[in-house]
Amino acid sequence: MTDSEKPTAFRSERHDHAACVAEALARADSVCAQRGLRLTAMRRRILELIWQNHTPSKAYDLLDLVRQEHRGAAPPTVYRALEFLRDAGLVHHLESIDAFVGCDADECRGQPQFLICRGCQRVAEIHSQRLAHDAAVEALGAGFQAENEIIELHGICDACREGTA
């Protein structure tokens, strides 16, 4: 984690992704232990598949991957596992592209904002309380009670913009 480059929520290309995966799985274990949730083999495997990279995964692609390993895996099993992971806060569902990405934050409280790169398809999450708060306040002012202040921003990451991704 000693990136001397300019700050970015996106990991550098040379980052140790095995460490990301190990960290995510360790976090899943501790979250589930703390909350008395059961991280079954299926749930764990799907989390691992989602963490194959930092790009979002479609539910049906995950189903395909699982079926390569478990021939008889039924779609509801996979979809329920995804729901479990989402409810546990271990993955996020990106509404705008209907895909799942692993939660990349140690403390993912409140409403994250997602940065979705159209170049490399990677997603990074940031946590600006100000943005979430302002969205809620602006909505209230517009006569609307926001129940979900998650913001998904589409654009281009530095690495893509500089042609280094």
Q: State the residue for tokens 């001397």.
A: 4
Report the phi/psi class of residue 87: left, alpha or beta, with left for phi > 0 and alpha for psi in -120 to 50: alpha
Among 25, 59, 88, 108, binds Zn ion (CB under 5 A): 108
20 binds Zn ion (CB under 5 A): yes
Residue from 28, 90, 101, 103 touching Zn ion (CB under 5 A): that is 103
Using CB under 5 A as the binding rule, whether residue 117 contacts Zn ion is answered as yes
> What tokens were used for 72?
């008889």
With CA atoms as reference, report the closest residue to 8 among 160, 116, 151, 158.
158
Helix ranges restricted to H, the chain: 17-35, 41-50, 59-69, 75-87, 129-141, 158-161
Piece of 29-37, 38-46, 100-108, 141-149 that binds Zn ion (CB under 5 A): 100-108
Please check whether residue 97 is in contact with residue 116, taking contact to mean a CB–CB distance below 8 angstroms.
yes
Count of residues near Zn ion by CB under 5 A: 13
Q: Does 124 bind Zn ion (CB under 5 A)?
A: no
| Least distance in angstroms from the C-beta of 1 to Zn ion | 11
CB of 54 to Zn ion, least distance (A): 6
d(CA 162, CA 165): 8
94 is an interface residue for Zn ion by CB under 5 A = no
Interacting residues toward Zn ion by CB under 5 A: 11, 17, 20, 103, 105, 108, 112, 117, 119-120, 157, 160, 165
